[in-house]
């Protein structure tokens, strides 16, 4: 049985690569491949990033911070992870494999082997990007350590998704069955929070000094008894990656492998939950068939009714408005998003209530973190927010049949994501502003903060729109090479792909922004002696006009590509 | 194609039925020739041509987070239908989806999804409607209603093209038949016209006519 599943994996990969290689006959894909190789070669000949930048930071502290980040990611997955199992089988797999004489464990194993493709790719990317650093560990040892780390994290996400699926299906009954694991999570989070609460003043003081002082202080804090104990399992997984010598690495690998194996056993043995899910799905299917045979419509609606859309769609008007409306409704109905927003607000409210009496001293830290997160979204947001063509190209047949021009489709799809991303950034900045109003933070008074916020209101939509047009353009020009659909490889194990994709994207964005910024800035400088502050307003208007012109030209060009798009190329990308 | 006509597109697997429908719907460009929908050239004036047509695929494509009613509002806006809100109720009633107007696609059965896709195709009262394998996945009641829907559209003045492997359905619903093979026309006309060109086929059921015209003379085994 393993051989036949192996055959399926091997042939699928081979044929997929073959189909994608055929695309190279198209000059656009060939050029992209050459540029891609040139980019990788540039990365390879560069002294690796860890050599240049990692030397000044202590590896020990980095390992501890890495353990903290890993703990945060795991906690995030438990609290905000998807309610559906991470192991999703394609319709073909369900059709052929589920009724076949294959055990559930073999099915889980098959999926795990398939997921190794992404993990191995990202291990290779990490080794290429960061090399072995200054610590002299051979590349294969570093690769093995990274593979262990990524595989463990991936298995943990699958195991957690099984538990979450079970909870979602069985409610309180499921919760009682999972009481042990839930109690461990709650106790762990409480212990870490408790252990770090009294260290917050030290961290705050470090913020006044600089970033390396912050890292140093956080590293020190993590060595306090409670965080140290809580982070031990995470350290055990991280330590092989941070090892300095082969001996250290070998010693660290043993417990890391043990944790990996424990996770493997956990996931494989979780097939009880898997069986339940399948049984329930079969039961639902049987009910449906029975209802149809009775001539009645099946009662499929057991979930909550859909929430009302944020705004009502007028029956006439710009067709792109309908696309924007559709995409925003979809975002609004993603319950996971609202869970994140509400929980963040709850945490912020609790935190502010706890430190309210020392508000002045905490304003800088809180507002800095919120504004920093808005900045992170500026860089990575266009990769993460995908309610645009990257999702809708799966419906290419349907979209193409609509009487809507390519430029309208492209601009509306890009605008949808840009609006969502901008709303998130503005929300974070608004919170940052509210947290720091009345307090002078690092010499920045309220007037300056308000001016910065007003500037962000104008600049962010423009930058986001260009960023989204670039991302949508990549999906449109290379549909056979881009992962389409609302989901993309995620988690720490897919971080390498994000790191690889980010610099070229930022470069393209910088190139696109340079002319409007240059024109706006030059105009402001030229006019400021005569117009004073008004000159900066004029410069901003010119900047926005420049971005608008670029967005128009990009939409027209990409709209032409959309009109010429072969939907079969998107079918290839969609068949994951 | 004239208003009120129903053309059945038949041919063996891989003959090019779906490709033909995708081309005349403006999804893929034709390799040669031109397509005119309601007087508009699909290549030169694609938006005007597309506003006059509806393509209903065999597999309903629906947006995960739009309810039944919102799908219709969305499509109505894309096709510039000012009275779409007024049309939604009767259309949902005709397709027996009224009590599901607030449901998301995940809450619908396969047949209901198919009906919703049809409703989306009809909201703008198209002059040409293209169905790709319209009976796929429908139960007997659904099949009967689908045939009624197709006939009603034709009675209301739409030109309808449907592809199907179900020859008895084509025989029952269509006014003319187009048989294609390897992307090329084999026969076009009413069944009587087709048979008049091949007198030896007179009196045979459409299935036998189809097999003879496509060169497949195998008789069914067992």
**From the list A301, A330, A403, which residue is nearest B107 (CB)?**
A301
Chain B residue numbers with beta carbons less than 8 Å from the beta carbon of A322 are 74, 77-78
Q: Among all residues of chain A, which has the CA nearest to that of B137?
A: A292
Query: Quick one: average pLDDT of A476-485?
Result: 77
Q: What percent of chain A has pLDDT over 70?
A: 70
3-state helix/strand/coil string of chain B: CCCCCEEEEECCCCCCHHHHHHHHCCCCCCCCCCCEECCEECCCCHHHHHHCEEEECCCCCCCCCCCHHHHHHHHHHHCCCCCHHHHHHHHHHHCCCHHHCCCCHHHCCHHHHHHHHHHHHHCCCCCEEEEECCCCCCCHHHHHHHHHHHHHHHHCCCEEEEECCCHHHHHHHCCEEEEEECCEEEEEECHHHHHHHCHHHCCCCHHHHHHHHCCCCCCCCC
Mutate to test the interface with B, among A294, A299, A326, A331 (most CBs of B within 10 A): A326
Give every CB contact of residue A541 below 8 A, 6+ residues apart in sequence. A520
Smallest CA–CA separation between A383 and chain B, in Å? 21
User: Is it the case that residue A268 has pLDDT exceeding 70?
Assistant: yes
- pLDDT, residue A412, reads 96
Could you tell me the pLDDT band of residue B222, with boundaries at 50, 70 and 90? Answer: very low
Chain B residue numbers with beta carbons less than 8 Å from the beta carbon of A311 are none
Contact assignment for A397 to B70 by CB distance below 8 Å: no
Mutate to test the interface with B, among A92, A288, A396, A401 (most CBs of B within 10 A): A401
- pLDDT, residue A151, reads 92
Tell me the C-alpha distance between A425 and A459, whole Å: 11
Contact assignment for B63 to A298 by CB distance below 8 Å: no
Give every CB contact of residue A274 below 8 A, 6+ residues apart in sequence. A85, A87, A104, A107, A108, A162
Looking up tokens 């992170």 gives: A376
Average pLDDT, chain A: 77
Chain A residue numbers with beta carbons less than 8 Å from the beta carbon of B74 are 313, 322, 325-326
Q: Among all residues of chain B, which has the CA nearest to that of A314?
A: B77
Tell me the C-alpha distance between A358 and A389, whole Å: 47
Lowest mean pLDDT: which of A74-88, A322-336, A499-513?
A74-88
pLDDT tens sequence across A385-399: 888 998 888 888 888
pTM of the entire predicted model: 0.72
- pLDDT, residue A293, reads 42
**From the list A314, A334, A402, which residue is nearest B50 (CB)?**
A402
pLDDT tens sequence across A200-232: 777 767 766 666 677 677 767 777 777 788 788
Tell me the count of A-B CB pairs closer than 8 A: 111
Chain A residue numbers with beta carbons less than 8 Å from the beta carbon of B98 are none
Tell me the C-alpha distance between B101 and B91, whole Å: 11
Q: Find the helix packing angle between A446-477 and A406-436, rounded to 10°.
A: 150
Instruction: Report yes or no: B138 and B113 within 8 Å, Cβ to Cβ.
Output: no
Could you tell me the pLDDT band of residue A435, with boundaries at 50, 70 and 90? Answer: confident
The pair of three-digit structure tokens given for residue A182, joined into one six-digit string: 């839930």
pLDDT tens sequence across A498-530: 777 788 889 999 999 999 999 999 999 999 888
CA distances from B172 to A350, A508, B202, B205, B208 (A): 70, 59, 18, 12, 16
Chain A residue numbers with beta carbons less than 8 Å from the beta carbon of B82 are 315-316
pLDDT tens sequence across B6-48: 999 998 888 899 999 999 998 888 888 999 999 999 989 988 9
**From the list A303, A322, A333, which residue is nearest B74 (CB)?**
A322
Instruction: Report yes or no: A248 and A144 within 8 Å, Cβ to Cβ.
Output: no
The pair of three-digit structure tokens given for residue B174, joined into one six-digit string: 């269509």
Average pLDDT, chain B: 87
Tell me the C-alpha distance between A91 and B59, whole Å: 14
- pLDDT, residue B221, reads 40
- For residue A477, give the nearest of A559, A387, A394 by alpha carbon: A559
**From the list A300, A329, A396, which residue is nearest B108 (CB)?**
A300
Q: Tell me which residues of chain B, numbers 125 to 164, contact chain A at a CB-CB cutoff of 8 Å.
A: 139, 141
Helix (H) or strand (E) holding A41: helix A27-45
Could you tell me the pLDDT band of residue A291, with boundaries at 50, 70 and 90? Answer: very low
């Amino acid at each position: 049985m393993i051989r036949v599943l192996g055959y399926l994996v091997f042939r699928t990969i081979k044929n997929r690569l073959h189909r994608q290689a055929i695309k190279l006959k198209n000059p656009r894909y060939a050029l992209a491949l050459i540029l891609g190789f040139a980019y990788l070669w540039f990365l390879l000949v560069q002294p690796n990033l860890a050599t240049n930048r990692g030397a000044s930071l202590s590896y020990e502290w980095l390992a501890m911070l890495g353990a903290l980040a890993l703990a945060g990611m795991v906690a995030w997955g438990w609290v905000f992870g998807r309610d559906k199992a991470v192991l999703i089988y394609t319709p073909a797999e369900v059709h052929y494999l589920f009724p076949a004489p294959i055990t559930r464990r073999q099915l889980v194993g098959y999926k795990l082997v398939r997921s190794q493709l992404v993990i191995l790719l990202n291990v290779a990317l990490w080794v290429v990007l960061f090399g072995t650093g200054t610590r002299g560990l051979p590349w294969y040892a570093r690769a093995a350590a990274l593979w262990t780390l990524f595989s463990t994290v991936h298995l943990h996400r699958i195991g957690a998704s099984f538990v979450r699926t079970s909870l979602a299906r069985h409610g309180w009954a499921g919760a009682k069955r999972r009481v042990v694991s839930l109690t461990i999570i709650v106790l762990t989070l409480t212990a870490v929070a408790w252990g770090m609460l009294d260290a917050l003043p030290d961290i705050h003081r470090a913020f006044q000094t600089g970033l390396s002082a912050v890292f140093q202080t956080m590293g020190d804090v993590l060595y306090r008894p409670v965080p140290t104990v809580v982070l031990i399992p995470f350290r055990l997984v991280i330590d092989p990656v941070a090892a300095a010598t082969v001996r250290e690495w070998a010693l660290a690998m043993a417990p890391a492998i043990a944790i990996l194996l424990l996770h493997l056993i956990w996931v494989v043995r979780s097939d009880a939950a898997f069986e339940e899910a399948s049984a329930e799905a079969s039961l639902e299917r049987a009910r449906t068939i029975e209802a149809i045979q009775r001539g009645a419509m099946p009662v499929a609606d057991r979930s909550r009714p859909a929430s009302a859309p944020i705004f009502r769609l007028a029956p006439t008007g710009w067709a792109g408005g309908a696309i924007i409306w559709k995409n925003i409704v979809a975002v609004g109905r993603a319950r996971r998003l609202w869970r994140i927003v509400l929980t963040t607000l709850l945490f912020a409210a609790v935190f502010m209530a706890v430190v309210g009496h020392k508000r002045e001293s905490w304003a800088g830290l809180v507002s800095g973190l919120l504004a920093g997160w808005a900045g992170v979204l500026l860089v990575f947001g266009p990769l993460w927010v995908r309610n645009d063509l990257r999702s809708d190209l799966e419906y290419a047949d349907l979209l193409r049949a609509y009487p809507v021009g390519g430029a309208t489709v492209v601009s509306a799809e890009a605008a949808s994501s840009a609006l969502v991303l901008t709303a998130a950034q503005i929300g974070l900045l608004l919170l940052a502003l509210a947290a720091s109003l009345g307090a002078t933070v690092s010499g920045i008074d309220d007037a300056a903060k308000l001016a910065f916020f007003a500037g962000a209101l104008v600049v962010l939509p423009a930058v986001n729109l260009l960023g989204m047009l670039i991302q949508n353009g990549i999906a449109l020009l290379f549909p056979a090479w881009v992962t389409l659909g609302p989901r993309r490889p995620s988690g720490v194990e897919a971080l390498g792909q994000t790191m690889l994709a980010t610099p070229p994207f930022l470069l393209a964005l910088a190139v696109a922004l340079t002319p409007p910024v240059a024109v706006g800035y030059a105009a402001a400088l030229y006019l400021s002696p005569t117009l004073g502050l008004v000159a900066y307003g004029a410069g901003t208007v010119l900047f926005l006009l420049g971005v608008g012109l670029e967005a128009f030209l990009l939409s027209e060009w990409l709209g032409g590509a959309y009109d010429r798009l072969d939907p079969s190329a998107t079918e290839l990308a969609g068949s994951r | 194609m004239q208003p009120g006509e129903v053309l059945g597109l038949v041919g063996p697997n891989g003959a090019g039925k779906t490709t033909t429908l995708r081309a005349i719907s403006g999804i893929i460009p034709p390799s040669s020739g031109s397509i005119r929908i309601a007087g508009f050239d699909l290549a030169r004036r694609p938006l005007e041509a597309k506003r006059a047509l509806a393509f209903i695929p065999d597999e309903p494509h629906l947006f995960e987070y739009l309810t039944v009613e919102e799908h219709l509002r969305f499509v109505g806006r894309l096709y510039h239908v000012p009275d779409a809100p007024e049309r939604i109720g009767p259309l949902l009633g005709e397709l027996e989806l009224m009590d599901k107007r607030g449901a998301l696609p995940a809450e619908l059965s396969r047949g209901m999804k198919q009906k919703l896709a049809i409703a989306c195709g009809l909201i703008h009262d198209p002059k040409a409607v293209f169905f790709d394998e319209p009976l796929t996945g429908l139960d007997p009641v659904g099949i009967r209603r689908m045939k009624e829907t197709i006939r009603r559209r034709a009675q209301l003045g739409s030109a309808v093209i449907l592809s199907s492997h179900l020859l008895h359905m084509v025989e029952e619903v269509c006014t003319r038949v187009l048989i294609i093979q390897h992307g090329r026309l084999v026969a076009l006309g009413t069944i009587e016209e087709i048979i008049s060109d091949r007198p030896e086929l007179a009196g045979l059921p459409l299935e036998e006519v189809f097999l003879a015209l496509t060169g497949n003379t195998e008789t069914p085994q067992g």
